Amino acid sequence: NNMKTCLQVIDVNPKAGPFITCPANQTEASCQTQSTINSKFNTWKNSVTYTGGCNPMLVIGAGSAPPACGGATTVTFTVTSDCGSATCSSTFTVTNAPAVSITCPANQTEASCQTQSTIDSKFTTWKNSASFSGGCNGVLTNNGSSAPNHCGGTATVTFTVTSDCEAPKTCNATFTVTNAPAVVLTCPSNVTEAACQTQSAIDAKFATWKNTASFTGGCNGTLTNSGGTAPNACGGSTSVTFTVTSDCEAPKTCTATFAVTAAPALVV
């Protein structure tokens, strides 16, 4: 009697897995708003996927979005199931904000005796030559209100850059107008002429004498005199006051005398 034996194999094929696919590492530029970074971070976290396993459950590790000024957050993603678990990690990065670099205008010196409007215009142009780079949403300001006086003076201006990602940065620069040179008035020397010249000769000498007054310094100075007529050719004197008016100081004056000696008395 031949006996035959039959072996039956039953294959139990449990579900494979679970399998998890992390979000790809993601890098965002700095200088976006924090709310934008937060939104992108949440979208990135929720892009994780998984398959397989029995009754799988996804757990996303703790971690908040990095600062909008720069940083990184690594998140661990885990799938647990009745048949096993799977884990992966991925990183969300915000690049570091570029450092603020502020460039002040070079110190500037202007000559005096320009008009105030010219100095004001040059001062404004000078202030506007300040610049900066880097930072996030930076704003450049300065505390310079008015230019120095065109007769001489100095204005020191502080320039400030405020931005989102670092403390304000400052620098100082100076705009100078040189002091106007002081007025120096030179009066004619006192003069005495002999009598018995013609009146026209005395008049001519008097006019020439007045014109020998001079001055130096000042800004836009003007020399004037109190005038008057020449003394009588037969004898007398005239005192003349000379005045220099200028932009940058009070008028300066001096006085000089032109005389004609008295004619000798007639003796008959």
Q: How far is residue 231's CA from residue 73's CA, in Å, rounded to a whole number?
A: 102
Q: pLDDT digits over 165-211, tens only?
A: 999 999 999 999 999 999 999 999 999 999 999 999 999 999 999 99
Cα Rg for the chain, rounded, in angstroms? 47
Q: Using CA atoms, how far apart are residues 17 and 87, in angstroms rounded to an integer?
A: 12
Alpha carbon separation from 203 to 72, 186, 197, 224, 255 (Å, rounded): 97, 22, 10, 18, 19
d(C-alpha 251, C-alpha 247), whole Å:
9
Task: Give the C-alpha distances (Å, rounded to integers) separating 71 from 37, 61, 63, 141.
Answer: 11, 18, 12, 29
* 3-class secondary-structure state, position 207: helix
Q: Print pLDDT tens along the chain (268 aa).
A: 554 544 444 444 445 779 999 999 999 999 999 999 999 999 999 999 999 988 999 999 989 999 999 999 999 999 999 889 999 999 999 999 999 999 999 999 999 999 999 999 999 999 999 999 999 999 999 998 899 999 999 999 999 999 999 999 999 999 999 999 999 999 999 999 999 999 999 999 999 999 999 999 999 999 999 988 999 999 999 999 999 999 999 999 999 999 999 988 888 8
Predicted confidence at residue 240, as pLDDT, reads 98
Q: At 217, phi and psi to the nearest 5?
A: 80, -170
For residues 85 and 55, the answer to whether their CB atoms sit within 8 Å is: no
